[in-house]
Amino acid sequence: MKLEWMGEHRALIEKIIKYGNAYSNTYKLQRSYGTDVMFSASQIQTLEYILEAEDKDEKMSEMAARLGVSRSTFSKNVKNLTEKGLLEKYHLSGNRKDIYVKPSAKGREVYEQYTQFVRKICFDEIFQYADTISEQDKMSFIRILDLFADVLLWYGEKEQEPQRKLIKIEE
């Protein structure tokens, strides 16, 4: 059956789906990524975001929303990273409810090792290719991925309608 609804965009959609499937297969797997600590892609993204936004003093719930993950997923990642010594938790004096997280010295060191490793095995080639395309094409690709992610996030949060089925009436 030919899937004509995608028109000339079939190859693009196929590669987006391939990437999504490959990523989902590795998202929660614990690997060392060139460090002495085992962590998942989900956990390193959490650490990366906290490092990148540490001057913002965002609450954990705000960080989860910006990352596009559930609060429970974010909290689990923070718990795991804290247990591994990569993050430290804080609260404001007089307010124990709102929790803030900051990278530890070990977290910074591990992240630096991770970036050297992953850049070499993955991103150097991607960056070389990206350097050959126009800024406008990059922005278009970013917009495509953003639209796709927004739909997936929306649909993942949407409450599913209950399945209805026909029931034979007995006379």
pLDDT digits (tens, 9 = 90+) for 63-78: 888 888 888 999 999 9
Q: Cα(116)–Cα(34) distance, rounded to whole angstroms?
A: 8
CATH class of the domain at 9-157: mainly alpha
pLDDT in tens, 10-37: 999 999 999 989 988 888 899 999 999 9
7 alpha carbon, distance to own chain's centre: 29
Residue found under tokens 């906290």: 50
Q: Cα(79)–Cα(91) distance, rounded to whole angstroms?
A: 15
Tell me the three state secondary structure of residue 133: coil
The pTM score is 0.76
**Domain positions in the chain:** 9-157
